[in-house]
Amino acid sequence: MGLLDGKVAVITGAGGGIGKCHALAFAKEGAKVVVNDLGGARDGTGGGGAMADGVVEEIKKAGGEAAANYDSVATIEGGKAVVKTAVDSFGKIDILVNNAGILRDKTMLKMAEDMWDLVIAVHLKGTFACTQAAAAVMKDQGTGGRIINTSSTSGLLGNFGQSNYGAAKAGIAGFTRVTALELQKYGVTVNAVVPVALTRMTDDLPMFAGAKAGEIGPEFISPVVVFLASDLAKDITGKFIGIQGNMINSYSMKVSEGATKAEGMWTPQEIADSIEKIL
């Protein structure tokens, strides 16, 4: 018995890297998998069915069940089409993993408008579009569900040259917190992973200089996603799980103790005098 026997999972951006590892891991645990991938380069250009088809074929050769989808997640229509593939192919959807993404790195002062718009569209709007479509079906099914989003340290902590990507990933964190609250009454959990892994998306980033795939590869991420998608995590929602190689942690927002004035409004000078306690 696999942890995901009888479940139908949609995984976006599953033609390579972390998403492909997810798809193979889910299939190994018994899930029927929709492999979504636009088939483009890491900057979002191009497209084709070869990447998604390749993963589907690999799953089928191993005895699993899978279907390919090539829609862009960056539109509402695309999100609906991705979920429709699951319903048409396997009759339902139990799990959504929002993993699709692109990179258009540039410092903020040099960033063109289209570089900002495309990254926000694929990561943030894509997460919304697929989640809205999947949650609507999960609600009507009445059997709960699992949604796992993908955030990043670039959004939660910051990373030079990635203001568009960081803004999208921070937005996904906020979206995760809100949708976890909204969907809880339907038995749908919403969590996010915060992966650090060496993939084609990251292999030329300075932070990965000297890193070895066997020590920090995408395969380390998937067991956490399988866990969050399974009944082992049925009571966990609104959480952010970080994975870096064989280390797993969590991210959370912290609020300082702060300072309270006895009465009246603060003056700028009083704020300056108390800034260490405030921060």
Q: Cα–chain-centroid distance for residue 103?
A: 14
For residue 36, the surrounding DSSP H or E stretch is: strand 32-36
How far lies 239's CA from each of 191, 216, 229, in Å?
Answer: 5, 22, 13
The single-letter DSSP state of residue 266 is P
Q: Annotated catalytic residue: which of 70, 165, 186, 251?
A: 165
Closest CA to 251 of 156, 139, 130: 156
As a whole number of angstroms, the distance between CA 88 and CA 159 comes to 41
How far lies 21's CA from each of 1, 108, 224, in Å?
Answer: 20, 32, 12
Could you tell me if residue 39 is left (phi over 0), alpha (psi between -120 and 50 degrees) or otherwise beta?
left
Q: What residue has token string 């190994």?
A: 28
Does the active-site annotation cover 186? no
Q: Which residues have a catalytic role annotated?
A: 165
